[in-house]
Structure 1
Amino acid sequence: MKRMILLLGLLNTIACAQTNPPQLTAKFTGSDGGFAVCELFTSEGCSSCPPADALLKTLEKDYPANNVYVMEFHVDYWDKLGWKDKYSNPAYTKRQNAYCTALQSQTYTPQMIVNGKQQLIGSDKAKVHYAIDEALKKDQKSLSIEYNVIVRDEQADITFVSEGFDKKDILNVALVQSEDSSAVKAGENNGHTLRHVNIVRQFVSSPLKNTFGKLSIDIPGELKDKSLKLIVYTQNHKSLAVTSATALNLDKNAKQTSL
């Protein structure tokens, strides 16, 4: 009888583990110090972009702390010039154009935007490091936001509690693939194998609206076995300046780890 009870208890535990999806938590508090969100607008069709992609990879090693967030947004306006970038998305081109309007800048690749406040050539190592170092000196002491994320097979559901933000401020969630490569067979990079890090594969935005809220992002089936993370950050709705940032690891072996 005791064995039966123990067996039933074990089966119940297994069933709960199978039906309850993993939950993650992360929190941003301005008093924790500065941060840098580095958004690189790039394309596999641009011969000037591979050095910027390579620099993005070194930034993760140069800044091992969790307060530097790098990601690649692949734009689509190079797709008509010989090579279709499989990661490109017209929404990312629109995002770059919005930044360029706010910062009164030309649109080009590789272009990096740091914390929504500064644009620079994405392959210029010295200037990129300087921009990040300056960003890390600043903080947002009056702001805080906490996230709870439930991860399902093809979706992540994010709920949040915020303090100190304008209700019109923007909450962004980027699903990024940690790394991948492409063998380019046409265009300016013909014959080269290009390696990428933190590629934005899905991206959603929404006004904060209230102190409490929720947002969902799809996880495409093709990424099921890939190394993934969520980079979650807020922006001022007028200037597009980034006001908070954090990340959550979605790797299968680290689903219970919050960053």
Structure 2
Amino acid sequence: MSSPKHAALVTGGSSGIGLAVAGALVARGHAVTILGRDEGRLRHAADRLGAEAGLGDGAVHTVVADVAQPAAAHAAVAAHIGRWGRLDVLVNSAGLLAAGPFESYSTTTITEVLEVDLRATILFCQAALPYLRKVAREGRPLIVNIASISGKRADPGFSLYCAAKFGVVGFTAALHQELAGEGVGACAICPGLVDTPMADWARSWASRASMLRPEDIAGAVIRLLDIPAGQVPAELVLS
């Protein structure tokens, strides 16, 4: 199999922001791997993306994995490389929300949110970086970590989610500086409320019209691809 010109890996790619980002990347001509826990939803998403782009079966690669598992990052990146042969874009979109009073969080909830929202982001960047560096001379390799406005602003009832997303923003900012001069961009996108099931908690007071759409975040990712790696911002706030 010949290597595509550009290839991207998107975690949380079976729904919401991840699905929209994957669709935008496919439309741009990237070979795409989407990652998710549910094989049925993942297959349906891949079929939908392929059909919308006018591509045949297998045009979008799928990897079934739970990003909360430490071994998932290297295994998923290896599967992506095995399918496409290269990696130009990593989008960490898998996320888990927890809301409620601080004392209500169980040890299990604390562990799950930090594993999915923060640790997985770090591990996927670590697993992907050697392959992103390989294409730096010929392209614009890019890491995009989907954070949240909760990574920039503290709100009561979201202490755990804020801890994870503040961590994503800080990690990405440090990685951005560390990769300066290497030709690999790194940006944390921090959206406000996005019209996905994760925003269901806010629907009693926030209308859909007031929310961002998943396509808005996807559009921001595509715009970042057109910026030289040395000029990619460390963070991008969308509201």
TM-score clears 0.5? no
TM-score, normalising length: structure 1: 0.24
Structure with larger RCO (C-alpha < 8 A, sep 6+): 1
Is the radius of gyration larger for structure 1 or structure 2?
A: 1
**Larger relative strand fraction:** 1
